[in-house]
Structure 1
Amino acid sequence: MSSFYTKSGVRLDYVESGDKNGKPIVLVHGMLCSKDFFQKQISFFKNTGYHAIAVDLRGHGDSDKPLEGYTVKTYASDLHELIMELNLQKPTLLGWSMGSMVIWDYFDMFPNEVGALICVDQSASDFAWPDWKLGVMTTNDLRDISEITQTDREPFYKELIDLMIHEPNEKDSEFFLSQMMKIPPVIAEAIVLNQTYQDYRETVKKINVPTIILFGGDPKLNPPAAGFWLHEQIKDSEIKIFDKSSHCPFWEETDDFNNTIKSFMDSL
């Protein structure tokens, strides 16, 4: 594991695998999660000729947990600093869940510095705006989450994990929970609130680099319809549904997922 300090002094931890001279792919995790969710992808890329990097966003995993900066745009800016430090040229950016929002903001800010996008199981907005039927969160939901995150978060996280996995099992659930519990409650609340109110319906229409959209077929957390909406908005994008997965196809259908992203990168 390696570390990098942003200009604001925040330490970000990351892991690398593969050929450092190969085409780069940067993997960005979801809300309340960590780079270790991509352990099966980091292992896969060791012998593919590609250069894979997975990072813990600020406040997550083993990275620093300052008292400020918990906005998706800040995560994107942090990511840009890391990519510049590693001298990665037009990387493929893979974002899962909130990580997709991070790479959409990254593209919006640095459109000429992105090679391709891989968007995994994330709607253009999680909030149920009056004109957005694919949003799943309401103001009342956020009020309840805000309170429970501060008072009794472990049962809430366990319920969330059951939604994330198509067929939950004790080993996976314990790992997911261990990563979520690394985040202090006050930071977790800030992360959830900022992420949920983001709206990328207009941003994604600007995407003009090769893009593939990967969704789980089990709609327990995000409906596949949200993926097809993205597919319709992003010109020349590809889409694939993993029927035996919920929110985590990279974890639940690892071989198919890894081969899919490698084939996509091979085509670039």
Structure 2
Amino acid sequence: MYQATFHYQGVATMPFYDAADGTRLAYEDYGTGEPIVFVASWSLASDMWEYQVPFFVEEGYRCVLLDRRGHGGSDRPGTGYDFDTLADDIAGLIEYLDLRDVTIVGHSTGGAEVARYLARHGEDRVARVAFVSAMLPFVMRTEDNPEGLPIELSEAAVKQFRIDRPKWFADRAQGFYATHLGNDVSPALVEQGVRRCLETAPMAGIELWRATARTDHREGLRRITVPALVVHGAADQSALIDLTGRRTAKLIPGCVYKEYPTAGHGLFATQIDQFNGDLLEFVKG
């Protein structure tokens, strides 16, 4: 692995490192002190954490953010959107930067990636973990997971992506932030969120969507021994709380569970002070 920083018209771009399969992955690294690694949601890159990073840097923490393959400034390979490869990508960055006593924070599909990282690479470098609006423990309905959703629903969404992906995101944008419950989100912020999602490679979005629906993380969650925080919005329309957050909290031994009554999936942008405060308390604890 190696790091490089590009310059375009005198402006430095993100550093990157090479994953095991040669994919160039971009990351950001701010501050000093105890490290926090942030893993973004499906179809979002590091910029989604803009309401957390300045806060934690000012609190004395080092914030490291990864753009997963197909997202943000990273390469767009045709393969590698399974959770084993994505977990290895996280491990590669942590090992490349030689991070230790790490707090890993994952949102939505990013939370599922973090769960697979722990299951696959262990907890030697990890001090604690936070699952935020996470797509866990297992979304798809199977014989031993009757609470899950039919795979036909997942594939219906894929069909819509292939017909009119911008409309699919636009139709769900208000629900993402649960604006109907009074969350104060400007039209500009909603528009920005849709635009950021559309910057992701379309095929990467489809393959990651399918992997998220089909991957079972239940056994890995049961084996977590480091302190864990689960944060979820009761009004989450993307990761229904009875299917995800509440079940996840029951599987992780001794976890701290925080439920926000009026929060949707985008609680990182709508409940900024509450979320940042809860995460800071957890990291300090």
Q: Tell me which interval the TM-score lies in, with the shorter structure as reference length.
A: over 0.9
Q: CA deviation at 1:152?
A: 1.2
C-alpha deviation, 1:97, in angstroms: 0.5
Write the mapping of 1:13-92 to structure 2, written as runs, cut at 5 A: 13-19=26-32, 22-92=33-103
Q: SS at the partner of 1:256? A: helix
**Is the counterpart of residue 243 in structure 1 residue 261 in structure 2?**
yes
- Residue 10 of structure 1 is matched in structure 2 by 23
Q: Give me the whole-angstrom Cα distance separating, in 2, the residues matched to 1:187 and 1:227.
A: 25
Identify the match of residue 251 of structure 2 among 233, 240, 253.
233
Contact conserved, 1:71 with 1:191, CA < 8 A, in 2?
yes
1:9 is displaced (CA, Å) by 2.0
Distance of aligned partners of 1:255 and 1:24 in 2 relative to their CA distance in 1, 3 Å threshold? same
The residue number in structure 2 matching 1:252 is 270
Structure 2: which 5+ residue stretches go unaligned?
Answer: 1-13, 180-184
Matches of 2:147 and 2:45 in 1, distance apart? 26
Amino acid at match of 2:265: H
In 1: Cα distance, 2:76 partner to 2:126 partner: 27
Cα separation, 1, equivalents of 2:36 and 2:147: 29
Counterpart of 1:97 in structure 2 is: 108
Cα separation, 2, equivalents of 1:138 and 1:47: 44
Match of 2:238 among 218, 221, 231: 221
One-letter identity of the residue aligned with 2:34: K
How big is the shift at 1:230? 1.9
CA contact (8 A) 1:16 1:42 kept: no
Q: Deviations over 1:114-133 (max 9, x none)?
A: 21110011231222334435
Deviation by residue 1:115-160 (Cα, 9 ceiling, x = unmatched): 111001123122233443543x422222222222222111111223
TM-score scaled to structure 1, two decimals? 0.92
Are 1:24 and 1:92, in contact at CA under 8 Å, matched by a contact in 2? yes
Percent sequence identity is 24
TM-score, normalization: structure 2? Answer: 0.87
**Alignment match, 2:137:** 124
Which stretch of structure 1 is more off in the superposition, 229-238 or 125-134?
A: 125-134
- Residue identity opposite 2:158 in structure 1: S
Structure 1 residue runs without a partner (length 5+) = none
Could you list the structure 1 runs, at least 4 aligned residues long, displaced by more than 6 angstroms after superposition: none
Q: Quick one: distance in 1 between partners of 2:51 and 2:147? A: 30
